[in-house]
Amino acid sequence: MSSAMDDLQWQAMQYVLGEMSDTERDLFEARLADDLAACEAVTSASRLVLTAQAALHETSRTSPPRTAMPVAVHASRRAAWFAVAMTAAAGILCVVALQFAVSVPASRVAGQDSAELVALWRSGMAVDAADVYDPDDAADAVSDAVPSWMLAAVSVEAAAMDGQPEKIQEN
Amino acid sequence: MDSTQEGTLATDDGGPTSLGEPVSVERLSPDTVRTLYDVHGRDLQTFLAGVLRSTDAAQDVCQITFQRLMEVGHDARMETIRGWLFKVAFHEAMAYRRKETRVGKLRTELRAEGQDWVTLDQAVDSLVQAEEVGQLRARLQELPPEQQHVVRQRIHEDKTFAVIAAELNVPLGTVLTRMRLAMQKLQKWLS
């Protein structure tokens, strides 16, 4: 490549990169209007700049120093989200376990108490019934042994312990 | 007008094309315009991108240039059609720039939006070839580090030579020489 051609290429490169003064640019553009060689030089410079820009853009997107940071950030973000999720899960488990520990045994105790109460009543009635035994009333003894108000009270208590509304069935 | 006479460009009625003769007064055929676009369109658009520093604007002006070709291209001679296209394209680019300058758009808006003229990916893709990009990347790696640095700072980081010189604490001429040497090597390879 001749020196003159080198100079033209370099001028075109400076023109494309916007490195010319206003006067230099005006002079060069006056030349572009009529000089195909100058136009070709600008085309060549422009092509080189565009290609290099694309190449450098790709390099910067794939180079380790630039990608390392976002990856690290993403990793730490993932860890943070994982920790938050695990904490939330543990909290929910604790709440569920606590509810289970409080409500289920309580209902069981209540149920046991109720059963004992009913059994005691029945045994009490049985003793009374033995004292004054009437064979005609024997068939009704079991159903009539526990009064309806007690059954209602027991079912209300159980419902309250379970946290569910329950209909009170009247006999 | 006999559009099929020898020495005329192909016209709308499908007449023959030959070189170096005065052309008919009828417009060029779409096939001829398409062929000329295939041959010169990419170079023309690249040239316009260099003049306008906007690949987007280059596309617009390139389109206008080929509209002119359809309208008055029959006045041109085929052997000088490339020169004719560049000349028309340059004049249209100047008209476009004047118009854009009047409304205060072109570069200020692009810069304000962070869109440099070489970062409009879609338009750039039509002007650069992927394999050339890959090969140029490899060539860039072969440059001396100080030249690589200047090329990267100027073309990718969009710093002026003066800023690069100040940052490196070297004379401006040193930076210019590094860039010029790098461009010479790359341009020689690319051409």
pLDDT tens column, B36-87: 999 999 999 999 999 999 888 999 999 999 999 998 888 888 888 999 999 9
Where is pLDDT greater, at B1 or B139?
B139
Indicate the residue of B46, B132, B156 with minimum beta-carbon distance to A56. Answer: B156
A54 touches chain B (CB under 8 A): yes
Question: In the prediction, which pLDDT does B78 show?
Answer: 86
pLDDT higher than 50, residue B3: no
d(CA B189, CA A75): 42
pLDDT value for B45: 94
Q: Which residues of B touch A10 (CB under 8 A)?
A: 180, 183
φ, ψ of residue B5 in degrees (nearest 5): -70, 155
The pLDDT of residue B129: 78
Q: What b-and-e string marks burial along B162-183, b requiring 16 or more CB atoms within 10 Å of the CB?
A: eebbeeeeeeeeebbebbbebb
Residue B189 reports pLDDT greater than 80:
yes
pLDDT computed for residue B148 by the predictor: 94
Neighbours of A137 (CB within 10 A): 11
State whether B133 and A6 contact (CB < 8 Å): no
Confidence check: pLDDT of B15 > 80: no
- Those residues with Cβ within 8 angstroms of residue B27's Cβ, 6 or more apart along the chain or in another chain: B11, B12, B70, B71, B73, B74
Average pLDDT, chain B: 81
Partner-chain contact B118 A50, CB within 8 Å = yes
Which amino acid is present at B70? M
pLDDT at residue B77, rounded to an integer = 86
- How far does the CA of residue A48 sit from the closest CA of chain B (Å)? 7
Q: How far is B80 from chain A (nearest CA, A)?
A: 10
- Predicted local distance difference test score (pLDDT) of residue B175: 95
Average pLDDT, chain A: 68
pLDDT for the residue A161:
58
Reported as a pLDDT band with limits 50, 70 and 90, residue A162 is: low
Lowest mean pLDDT across A53-57, A60-64, A165-169:
A165-169
Q: Note the pLDDT of residue A62.
A: 65
Inter-chain CB proximity B151 and A50 less than 8 Å: no
Q: Is the pLDDT of residue A36 over 50?
A: yes
Distances (CA, A) of B29 to B19, B66, B183: 15, 12, 40
Using the Cβ of A43 and the Cβ atoms of chain B, whether some distance falls under 8 Å is answered with yes
- The H or E element spanning position A168 is none
pLDDT above 70 (res B117): no
Is residue A55 within 8 A of residue B137, CB to CB? The reply is yes
> Hey, is the C-beta of A49 within 8 angstroms of any chain B C-beta?
yes
pLDDT of residue B116: 54
| 126-165 in chain B: CB under 8 A from chain A | 127-129, 132-134, 136-137, 140, 151-152, 154-156, 160-161
Q: What is the pLDDT of residue A102?
A: 61
Decide if B126 contacts B45 (C-beta within 8 A): yes
